[in-house]
Amino acid sequence: MVEFNEIDLNILRRVSEADGIGGCEREVSRIVTEYGTPLVDEIIHDNLGSTIMHKKGRGNGPKIMFSAHMDEVGFEVRGITDSGYIKLLPVGGWWGHVMPAHEMTVTTENGDKYIGVIGARAPHGLPPEEKNKVISPLDLFLDMGVHSKKQISDLGIQIGDMITPNTKFRVMNDGDTLCGKAWDDRCNLGVELELLRNLAGESLAADIYCAATVQEEVGIRGARTATHTIQPDLAIALDVTTATDTPLDTAGMTLGGGVVLSVVDNLTLGNPALINMLKDIAQEYGLGIRCDFMTDGGTDACNIHKMLKGVVAVTASLPTRYMHSSRLMISRTDYEQTIKMLTAFCRRIDWAQVNAMKAASGILA
Amino acid sequence: MVDNELMSKLLELDSAPGNEVHVAKFLLTQYKPLADEIVYDNLGSIYAVRRSKQVNAAHVMVSGHMDEPGLILKSFNENGTLNALILGELAEPALLGTAIRFNVAGHHIQGTLLSLTEKPNAVSNKQTVLVDCGFTSQEAAENSGLTIGAHATFAQAPVMGEQRVIAKNWDGRFAPLVGLALLEAVKDEQLDFDLYVGCTVQETVGLRGVQTATNVVEPDLGIVIDTDAAFDYQDDARDKIGVLGAGLLVNFYDKTVLPNRMLIQELKAICTQNNIPYQYYYSMAGSDAAWINKLRTGTPTLFINAAVRNLGTPSQVIDLNDIAAVQQALIAFIHQLTPAKIAAYKAENR
């Protein structure tokens, strides 16, 4: 038996290039379902579109939930001007700084795709106060290269249609850095699928539920409905965290140093015994591991851990450069190490371990 | 299309958050002849239920809120004035000198809001207002029947125009009115799903009643009927949306909920088939739909809303044609709804 499979970069490429903002994750969930179906016993859903891959255990084991969200930050068509420009409504957090001159894809109700470019001003003759100002996303617009409202409507584009970056997946020049859109949080859909590939055919004590959730970027909604559907005993939210290893950010969260465990984020305190178990596994397999203490931001874990009667939980993240833009970068090393750590975790988690984690919270009977 | 008598009765009622009992009692009498059953949550939200003959029928929840922004009495002052706390979102510029009324054991005690400072300023940074009901001393105020915790609302009487109606509480009375029109329209029909039509409490103080109501109703499909701010007249409006008289609002985005896309398509198709005017709208305000949508295992949710000018003030303006459009579309939607469609809405985003 191979302990860990060679990763399949096609999975990452396909989930990255699929288009799916909050409430419109269908393209992504169909890719997840396509890869996941042969690897698990059943695929279940909540009523908002979260897709949950269930690998059954030997029976009566703890329910372990992994959560990665399918939605990316993007826009909806907010309005169409008489000249055929599209006004943008951000869905998820955008900064005007990273938008102008980027290509975007409009997806119509029928699934037709049209590419436009976010318009910007030429710098020529602009006063310094204009040049130094960041333009609000609500004031930017998509130029479809047409000249009238009618031309837009002839394409089938309507108000409310989805807009996402048009970015192709690319392996960068060191062979390890992976560039693409939507790594937040699609890279962790890859982690879930690679995890299930590693576990395929194995008999485990625990029931493994890999959830691909909806609507994280707009208020962590799918994590609620998926948690209700699964009713887990333990959950690991898989997300991304801000890398700070560029000339602009020098706090030292590097790409390539291994998985990042959130001891604390703005909305969740990680279970200490669960964190220790993951650290032990990392040490055993020689994997890098970092601890994160964030004072803003949150992940699916924020809602999962306090739902139902409470769920033992932590967030494991991949450091990511250029979050909430058209092009993000992650490290293949971090990706592979996360998959290895979680594979080993699934092979060893059982009721004794889960009860020890509850005991770490003072639950002793 | 709009029942004028029913509308007048509803608009005259007072229903501050946490004290929606006057509307709830009125709705109970209206619902009874039209419903198989009445259900409540434990905060006071009320639903008329039309049961189907199907086993394990799907639950369809048609809901909006019945509370209106108001005040709650905090303390008495020696000079006979009162301190009250704002409940919900009131537009500050509308408050100074405005008429308000406490509702004590069925009778009104009228008053107005004073400035807190020499310069006109009706609201403190702690959301407190100063009320003058004409009492000359603390003793007179205390003997009036008012007690700490008494609720007040705006006191303006409705202005019934031919086309537009001005009232203190469209935000809070729109859903009761539209819900009753739906129940009346389907009263003799056999439905293939259980239909819950009703109203939530405490929306304006933080979408509270809808959370408890959703756990009672356990919906498979949610339709929220609500009012949204009109931006059709302000000089500085970013987008001219929510145009009065231009038809119902197709909300494709709300800060707290992303409406189900197949439901939006269905609503637009129904409007087109029936010549019902509609307009696109997006909202940054948030609504009851948030919790119907994300509680339990999730519920596909749709808005059928109307635009209102001057929300949060005693003079909220609505267009009767817009109410008619909402009622017509809602009734048509329920007529065309089947269990198979409900299942399809749930599966839409898979």
Does position B31 have pLDDT exceeding 80, yes or no? yes
3-class secondary structure, A217 = coil
pLDDT digits (tens, 9 = 90+) for A143-196: 999 999 999 999 999 999 999 999 999 999 999 999 999 999 999 999 999 999
A251-263 confidence digits (pLDDT tens): 999 999 999 999 9
Neighbours of B33 (CB within 10 A): 10
Read off the pLDDT of each residue in B142-170 and give the average, rounded to a whole number. 97
Residue B106 has pLDDT above 90, yes or no: no
Determine contact: A26 vs chain B, CB below 8 A: yes
Interface check A138 vs B, CB under 8 A? yes
pLDDT digit string (tens) for B263-298? 999 999 999 999 999 999 999 999 999 999 999 999
Distance set, CA B303 to CA A337, B287, B293 (Å): 45, 10, 11
Q: Give the per-residue SS3 of chain B.
A: CCCHHHHHHHHHCCCCCCCCHHHHHHHHHHHHHHCCEEEECCCCCEEEEECCCCCCCCEEEEEEECCCCEEEEEEECCCCCEEEEEECCCCHHHCCCCEEEEEECCEEEEEEEECCCCCCCCCCCCCEEEEECCCCCHHHHHCCCCCCCCEEEECCCCEECCCEEEECCHHHHHHHHHHHHHHHHCCCCCCCCEEEEEEECCCCCCCCHHHHHHHHHCCCEEEECCEEECCCCCCCCCCCCCCCCCCEEEEEEECCECCCHHHHHHHHHHHHHCCCCEEEEEECCCCCHHHHHHCCCCCCEEECEEEEECCCCCCEEEEHHHHHHHHHHHHHHHHHCCHHHHHHHHHCCC
Digit-coded pLDDT (tens) for A57-112:
999 999 999 999 999 999 999 999 999 999 999 999 999 999 999 999 999 999 99
Q: What is the pLDDT of residues A259-295, one digit of tens each?
A: 999 998 888 999 999 999 999 999 999 999 999 888 7
Q: Output the pLDDT for position B169.
A: 98
Report the C-alpha gap between A245 and A254 in whole angstroms.
Answer: 5
The mean pLDDT of chain B is 97
Residues of B in contact with A24 (CB under 8 A): 258, 261, 349
Q: What is the mean pLDDT of residues B95-115?
A: 95
CA-based nearest distance B244→chain A, Å: 18
Chain A positions in Cβ-Cβ contact with residue B350 (cut-off 8 Å): 26, 29-30, 33, 45, 49, 51
Which residue in A22, A26, A46 is closest to B297 by CB distance?
A46
Cβ distance A22 to B258 less than 8 Å, yes or no, reads yes
Does the distance separating the beta carbons of B347 and A225 come in below 8 Å?
no
Determine, for residues B280 and A51 on separate chains, whether the beta-carbon distance falls below 8 Å: no
Proportion of chain B above pLDDT 90, given as a percent: 98
pLDDT at A365 over 90: no
Q: What is the pLDDT of residue A337?
A: 98
Among partner residues A23, A33, A215, which is closest to B261 by beta-carbon distance?
A: A23
Select the residue of A159, A225, A229 nearest B294 (Cβ to Cβ).
A225
In chain B, which residues have their Cβ closer than 8 Å to the Cβ of A50? 298
Question: Is A216 a catalytic site residue?
Answer: yes
B32-76 pLDDT, tens digit each? 999 999 999 999 999 999 999 999 999 999 999 999 999 999 999
Tell me the backbone φ, ψ of residue B334, rounded to 5 degrees.
Answer: -65, -35
Closest residue of A to B220, CA-based?
A47
Q: Do A229 and B297 count as a contact with CB atoms less than 8 A apart?
A: yes
CB B298 to CB A48 under 8 A? yes
Write down the pLDDT at residue A298: 82
Q: How confident is the model at residue A1 (pLDDT cuts 50, 70, 90)?
A: low
Note the pLDDT of residue B330. 98
- ipTM of this model? 0.92
> Contact B11/B25 with Cβ under 8 angstroms?
no
- For chain A, the average pLDDT equals 96
> pLDDT class for A341, splitting at 50, 70, 90?
very high
Q: Which residue of B has its CA nearest to A158?
A: B280
Asked whether the beta carbons of residue B299 and residue A47 sit closer than 8 angstroms, the reply is yes
CB pairs under 8 A between A and B: 79
Q: Which of A26, A48, A76 to mutate to test the interface with B (most CBs of B within 10 A)?
A: A48
Distances (CA, A) of A312 to A22, A69, A359, B43: 26, 19, 11, 31
Q: Which of B259, B294, B350 sits opposite A29 (nearest CB)?
A: B350
Q: What is the pLDDT of residues B300-350, one digit of tens each?
A: 999 999 999 999 999 999 999 999 999 999 999 999 999 999 999 999 999
Mean pLDDT value across residues B199-222: 97
Asked if A26's CB is within 8 angstroms of B350's CB, the reply is yes
Which residue among the candidates A25, A216, A217, A336 is catalytic per the annotation? A216
| Chain B interface, Cβ < 8 Å to A | 220, 238-239, 252-253, 256, 258-261, 264-265, 280, 282, 293-300, 346-350
